[in-house]
Structure 1
Amino acid sequence: MTALPDWMRPPRPEGWFAEDLDRLPEAPRHTELIDGALVFMMLPQRSWHGRLVTSLTVALMDQAPDGIEVEREMAIRLDARNRPEPDLLLATAPYDGDRTWFAPEDVLLVIEVVSPESAHRDRTVKLRKYAEAGISHYWCIEDEDSAPTVHAYELDRPTGSYAPAGIFRHALKRSLPFEISLDLDTLTPGGSG
């Protein structure tokens, strides 16, 4: 067993903080911070995942009204010890080419495409953390026989947790956070489009 490189050692006994990620150029791409611990994407992404995220990015950019930015693989600084990096987010903060993260109050919708190694975090940990941070909408997209299925959640403000807003197969129509209409079958190769 080899020793850990110096950059992987937390800078303080209580672990990592959100701002530390901007000072870790050696960290692998897509490094997240969850409860003060670094989380690395260790397995290569499947082509299905990448194609779905790209197609969804383009479709949402086409439909987003002025003042809403669609960002791919950008972190959200939920608090001092949590800085996840969702697959997609929709935000009201204006474009800034030097931005490395968004504040939760600027985020309207977070989208996670579930991978085998992220399944638990996407379905439970991030679902709870995004709700606690006050993000109004969360989509968790599952691969069902190579077709995307969107599990949509909406924040119930009185309880501070997400309520299911629908499970969408083949097509998705939502009026929030803005009018969105997607033909889910055309978002991945082999779809019916």
Structure 2
Amino acid sequence: MPTPTHDDTEPPGVRWAVPPEGGWTADDLDTLPDLPRHTELIDGSLVLACPQTLFHSRAISFFGEHVRAAAPAAMETISRFTIDIDRHNRPEPDVIVVPRSVIRSMDQTRVPGNSVELAIEVAADETLTRDRETKPVKYARVGIPHYWRVENHDGRAVVYVFEREPATGAYTSTGIFHDRMKVTVPFPIDLDLTEIDPTTSRAAGPQ
């Protein structure tokens, strides 16, 4: 029996794209065929999204809804939308806040990274290193002044808040929030973080 070749064992219909020399570019995300939804570009490499947990889905919805309600009228809140950092980096934060002026049409697929006022990442086990180390460096470098990282601690949300220090160009921690989050920048917002956990009892019920 002949030894199977690579093509013999490849599942029907699957063709993995081979990166060009130097890696993929930000423009390639719009032209590569059959990319899964929410694919990111990090350092020239494609990063595919893993299946969402319930916590991740609820946290994105929670912050998208409440940040949108609290943000100034001149700002737009968008969930899971890519931003241009540079030629080889086009990440997709879970929630961003940008000026409405950068929204040109309903067909656009990204916004400039340096237009983002706030970036929020909801961390998962497989993204924790990127959300704690890789992405904050890139977000700070492009000039995003505010970065929030949301983590799942046994089903309860913990939010780590960072602000870009102009003198160093790096983020500095300005707070860690459990159960309730109240900040004044980039705009005032007061959040009951326990709402993210679907098992949290919000009322004692009828007596």
Any stretches of 5+ residues in structure 1 without a counterpart?
none
Q: Please tell me the residue identity of whatever aligns with 1:147.
A: R
The structure whose Rg is larger is 2
Provide the rounded CA distance (Å) in 1 between the counterparts of 2:84 and 2:23: 16
Deviation of 1:29 after TM superposition, in Å, equals 0.8
Among candidates 17, 29, 43, match of residue 21 of structure 1 = 29
Among candidates 121, 140, 153, match of residue 144 of structure 1 = 153
Kept in 2, the 8 Å contact 1:68–1:93? The answer is: yes
- Between the two proteins, the alignment pairs up a number of residues equal to 191
Structure 2 residue aligned with 1:128: 137
Superposition pairs of residues 78-97 of structure 1, within 5 angstroms: 78-94=85-101, 95=103, 96-97=105-106
CA deviation vs aligned residue, 1:15-39 (integer Å, no higher than 9, x gap): 1110110112411111110111111
Q: CA RMSD in A?
A: 1.7
Structure 1 residue aligned with 2:185: 176
Any stretches of 5+ residues in structure 2 without a counterpart?
1-5, 203-207
Q: Please tell me the residue identity of whatever aligns with 1:120.
A: T
Provide the rounded CA distance (Å) in 2 between the counterparts of 1:131 and 1:26: 31
Deviation of 1:192 after TM superposition, in Å, equals 4.4
Secondary structure (helix, strand or coil) at the match of 1:177 reads coil
Structure 2 residue aligned with 1:116: 125
Structure 1-normalised TM-score?
A: 0.93
Q: Is 1:72 matched up with 2:79? A: yes
Secondary structure (helix, strand or coil) at the match of 1:8 reads coil
Q: Percent identity?
A: 40
